[in-house]
Amino acid sequence: MSQPRVNDVKAFLLDLQDRICAALEQADGGAQFVEDAWQRPGGGGGRSRVLAKGALFEQAGVNFSHVHGDALPASATTHRPELADRGFQAMGVSLVIHPENPHIPTSHANVRFFIAEKDGETPVWWFGGGFDLTPFYAVEADVVHWHRVARDLCRPFGEQVYPDYKRWCDEYFFLKHRQEARGVGGLFFDDLNAWGFDSCFRFMQAVGDGFTNAYLPIVERRKGDSWGHRERQFQLYRRGRYVEFNLVWDRGTLFGLQSGGRTESILMSMPPLARWEYDYQPEPGSPEAELTERFLTPRDWLA
């Protein structure tokens, strides 16, 4: 089995961040990312890039981080106690895009690599990541396109990869306290090492490279859709669900905070504006009701 090449993974992730930022700036056409390089006192650092108040994107963050240390936080060893006495490196690119137009979906993606090492023992490593889509006024053709790109990038790695990682995404991005999906899913994978380093690395690269192919055509289709106060208020209300998931259920957020990561970078996934409304019920038969009645129930979008 090939040995993990940490430097190759890091080089890919840095290049991926550059390419995604360039593609988003071109799509937005009105703003550029501002970079904030940072160092972690416990080891490592990263570069956070945020685009704010653009022509299309109210806020978009694309972060690279590479942190390391002598011991893992509790969130990482609860289910893997054998890693408790190992040094670790964790690196990845994570992004969240919050468009201003409610007809353009919010989107999230990340790809990451983790390795834990101890002298005299075989390294423990894995890849993880995925991407998911959170529309407010969903269009079935957009959802089908999103899942078609996900399926096609998975195919070279096996016919069962897309259905397995699509199902995992549906299960992971689920607000248990609301009994509600966060969005229309996509791909989610973690602890991937069974194929050997080279194949696992190629899959992680395919997911990272596939994000803009999945997302930017939807942005292009929806950016001219008209909207007003009603659509904006519904968007802000649904953004509240996004905040709830990230703060209550997201393992990456918990790991970052417990491992002493940079709080500003970890919480850049939050929308710049959101709202909550007690016991909100959409009008029956309305476009707002259609979101939960039709789109937030996981199903095979490519059937």
Which residues have a catalytic role annotated? 108
Q: How many CB atoms lie within 10 A of CB 229?
A: 7
Q: What's the angle, vertex CA 112, arms to CA 110 and CA 116, rounded to 5?
A: 155
Q: Which residues of 89-109 are buried (b: 16+ CB within 10 A; e: fewer)?
A: bbbbbbbbbbbbbbbbbbbbb
Q: What are phi and psi of 88, to 5 degrees?
A: -140, 155
Q: Which segments are annotated as binding site for a divalent metal cation?
A: 98, 108, 147, 177
Distances (CA, A) of 28 to 21, 31, 226: 10, 7, 17
Binding site per annotation, positions: 94, 98, 108, 110-112, 147, 177, 260-262
Q: List, as one string, the DSSP characters of the chain.
A: -PPP-HHHHHHHHHHHHHHHHHHHHHHH-S---EEEEEE-TTSEEEEEEEEES-SSEEEEEEEEEEEEESS--HHHHSS-GGGTTSEEEEEEEEEEEEESSTTSPEEEEEEEEEEEE-TTS--EEEEEEEEEEE-SS--HHHHHHHHHHHHHHHGGG-TTHHHHHHHHHHHHSEETTTTEESSSEEEEEEEE-TT-HHHHHHHHHHHHHHHHHHHHHHHHHHTT----HHHHHHHHHHHHHHHHHHHHT-HHHHHHHHTT--HHHHGGGS-S-----TT--PPTTSHHHHIIIIISS---TT-
